[in-house]
C-alpha cells in the first residue's frame, strides 16, 4: 500500500481554472498543501475563495488544471476518471451540509449504501452499519427513516455512512451549516472523538467554533492558502 511517507495529501502548485467559454476563472492559484495521516484540520475562507474547488480536488471529485497531487503517495492528477472514482470510493468519506441521505430509506440502509456498491454480503453489511450507527450514538434509531430524524441525527447517519468503507480521509463541507448550535456542537465533538480514534479529518467551514477545536487551521483567500497557529498552539504548517 502506498504511504507517501506518512502524508495522506501532498499538493504542489495546484491550479484550477474554470473555463466557461466566455470567461476563465482561476479558482486555485498555486496551492501547496501537505497533510499527515491522523490530522484534524479546518479549512476556512470567505465565500468564493476556492474552498469547494479545493475540496472537490482533494476528494478526487474533480481534477486540477495544473500542479501535482499525491494521495497516499500515489499521483492522482491526470488519472483517468474511472481510477479517480475508485480512489474516491475506497479512500474518501464525504460529509455534506445537506446530509445527502436517501429520505425514505432507514438509517441502516443509508449507511449500508457504500457497502452495497462494494459488494459486501447482506448480513455482514447490516452488522457493520449497525455497529457504525452505534458508534455515532444512534443505536436506538437503526430502523427510523431519514426523514424521521432530527438534523443532528441525520448528520450522524451521514458520518456513519462516510465511515462505512473505512476511508483514509474524511472530508466534510460545512457539516454544521444546517444545524442549531447545540447539535452542531455535538457533531464537532463526534469529529473530535473520531480524530482521537485515529481518523484523518478535514472540515471546510464558516463555523467559528470548528477552528477552535482542530489541530490545524488552513486559510484560503483568492485561491491561495495561508496557515496560522490556532488557539491550541498546535497549528503546525511544517508537516
Which residues here bind ligand ATP, judged by CB under 6 A?
18, 20, 25, 27, 45, 47-53
Cell of 114: 457504500
> Minimum CB separation from ligand ATP for residue 204, in Å?
7
Report the residue number, 15 or 135, with the smaller CB distance to Mg ion. Answer: 15
Is 36 a binding residue for Mg ion by CB under 5 A? The answer is no
Is 97 a binding residue for Mg ion by CB under 5 A? The answer is no
Q: 3-state DSSP call for residue 136?
A: coil
Number of residues counted as binding Mg ion (CB under 5 A): 2
78 binds, among Mg ion, ligand ATP, none (CB under 5 to 8 A by kind): none
> Minimum CB separation from ligand ATP for residue 27, in Å?
4
Report the residue number, 51 or 156, with the smaller CB distance to Mg ion. Answer: 51
Q: How far is the C-alpha of 130 from the C-alpha of 98, rounded, in Å?
A: 22
Contact region with Mg ion (CB under 5 A), list: 50-58, 71-79, 112-120, 163-171: 50-58
**Can you tell me which of 32, 52, 65, 178 binds Mg ion, judged by CB under 5 A?**
52
235 sits in the region (left: phi over 0; alpha: psi -120 to 50; else beta) called beta
Report the residue number, 115 or 225, with the smaller CB distance to Mg ion. Answer: 225
Phi, psi for 222 (deg, rounded to 5): 50, 40
Query: For the CA atoms of 72, 205, 188, 239, what is the dihedral angle to 10 degrees?
Result: 40
> Minimum CB separation from ligand ATP for residue 54, in Å?
7
Is 56 a binding residue for Mg ion by CB under 5 A? The answer is no
Closest-CA residue to 205 (of 219, 194, 223, 190): 219
Q: How far is the C-alpha of 215 from the C-alpha of 228, rounded, in Å?
A: 11
> Minimum CB separation from ligand ATP for residue 51, in Å?
3
49 binds, among Mg ion, ligand ATP, none (CB under 5 to 8 A by kind): ligand ATP
Report the residue number, 173 or 215, with the smaller CB distance to ligand ATP. Answer: 173
53 binds, among Mg ion, ligand ATP, none (CB under 5 to 8 A by kind): ligand ATP
Report the residue number, 18 or 117, with the smaller CB distance to ligand ATP. Answer: 18
Cell of 158: 451521514
| Summary count for the chain: helices (H), strands (E) | 6, 10
Closest-CA residue to 11 (of 33, 28, 27, 39): 33
Q: How far is the C-alpha of 61 from the C-alpha of 54, rounded, in Å?
A: 10
Q: How far is the C-alpha of 66 from the C-alpha of 36, rounded, in Å?
A: 23
Contacts with Mg ion by CB under 5 A lie at 51-52
Amino acid at each position: 500500500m502506498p504511504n507517501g511517507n506518512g502524508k495522506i495529501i501532498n499538493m504542489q502548485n495546484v491550479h484550477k481554472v474554470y473555463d466557461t467559454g466566455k470567461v476563465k476563472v482561476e479558482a486555485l492559484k498555486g496551492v501547496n498543501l501537505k497533510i499527515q495521516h491522523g490530522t484534524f484540520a479546518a479549512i476556512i475562507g470567505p465565500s468564493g475563495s476556492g474552498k469547494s474547488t479545493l475540496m472537490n480536488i482533494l476528494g478526487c471529485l474533480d481534477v486540477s488544471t495544473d500542479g501535482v497531487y499525491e494521495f497516499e503517495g500515489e499521483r492522482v492528477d491526470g488519472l483517468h476518471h474511472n481510477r479517480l472514482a475508485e480512489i474516491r470510493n475506497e479512500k474518501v468519506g464525504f460529509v455534506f451540509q445537506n446530509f445527502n441521505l436517501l429520505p425514505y430509506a432507514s438509517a441502516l440502509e443509508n449507511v449500508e449504501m457504500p457497502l452495497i456498491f462494494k459488494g459486501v454480503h447482506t448480513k455482514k453489511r447490516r452488522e457493520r452499519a449497525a455497529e457504525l450507527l452505534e458508534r455515532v450514538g444512534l443505536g436506538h434509531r437503526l430502523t427510523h427513516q431519514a426523514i424521521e430524524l432530527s438534523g443532528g441525527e441525520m448528520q450522524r447517519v451521514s458520518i456513519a455512512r462516510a465511515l462505512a468503507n473505512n476511508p483514509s480521509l474524511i472530508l466534510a463541507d460545512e457539516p454544521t451549516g444546517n444545524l442549531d448550535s447545540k447539535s452542531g456542537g455535538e457533531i464537532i465533538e463526534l469529529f473530535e472523538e473520531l480524530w482521537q480514534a485515529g481518523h484523518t479529518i478535514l472540515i471546510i467551514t464558516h463555523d467559528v467554533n470548528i477552528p477552535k477545536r482542530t489541530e490545524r487551521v488552513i486559510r484560503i483567500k483568492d485561491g491561495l492558502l495561508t496557515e496560522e497557529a490556532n488557539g491550541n498552539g498546535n497549528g503546525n504548517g511544517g508537516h
